[in-house]
Amino acid sequence: MIHKTCFDQSTIDCIENLIRLKNRADTETQKSIRNKIRKLGFYWTDFHPKDEYPQVKYNVENFRQLIKCGLITVYGKNNRMCYTHETKEDKRSSPQPSNNYKESLEPLVGKDPKVLILGTMPGPESLRTGNYYANTSNSFWRIMSDIFNDGILPVSFNERYDLLRENGIALWDSLATCSREGSQDSNIQNEVQNDIQGLLNAFPTIKKIVFNGKKAASYFIPRISYKIAPSTSSAHTISYKDKLSAWKNAIM
């Protein structure tokens, strides 16, 4: 495989996402994710050989330090440098986000996922707890349990995430950031999209996208097969039976 020191911004974003995933994965999945990073041309040991730098952690912060030091070059359109490093002084002087500023969760991806489910932006309870679909009025986990676990709802979120991974389901949202008052998607403004195509490039085993509602689908046009399932939010008031049927048809 080719070892590279120059990347475009899209690849940098993809590498960072994969590093985050690797650091949250089990040992077997970590190896698979590391191989995906290497296919993009980045080898951590090119910069930090284990025998010389055993104390340096393989994480996003230290990856960005390689860019700041000039060891990795990042190019955007027209081969212009597009990566900027924000210092603590920059952060203090820059405008702070309002209370309505929302930032999405990290993607949930296991080994060789087959289907990517995309919501719009996590609701207040999910953002508060750091867990996908944490609001108990949302039917997402009930639907997943009916489809994949004979209707038995796992108690912990880790068990719920394992259920998705074991069945080849990845989970993310269409938006990276936005401003939104309350939890309604209709209130979303100033939206910035997630690098969904970068995730698909990193995990080519994903062959289908299922959007959780029409709003989620409005931000990304897939190049692969996709379905739009009815929103699992309680605000979408069709019957649970109809929701479950539609989701089964969308995923299977």
Catalytic residues: 138
Helix and strand numbers, DSSP H then E, in the chain: 10, 9
Could you give the CA distance from residue 88 to residue 221 in angstroms, rounded to a whole number? 37
Could you give the CA distance from residue 90 to residue 226 in angstroms, rounded to a whole number? 41
Q: Where are the beta strands (DSSP E) in the chain?
A: 6-8, 73-75, 101-103, 115-119, 169-173, 175-179, 189-193, 208-212, 225-229
Could you give the CA distance from residue 232 to residue 118 in angstroms, rounded to a whole number? 12
Could you give the CA distance from residue 53 to residue 189 in angstroms, rounded to a whole number? 44
Residue closest to 212 by CA, chosen among 173, 167, 169: 173
241 CB contacts (<8 Å, ≥6 apart)? none
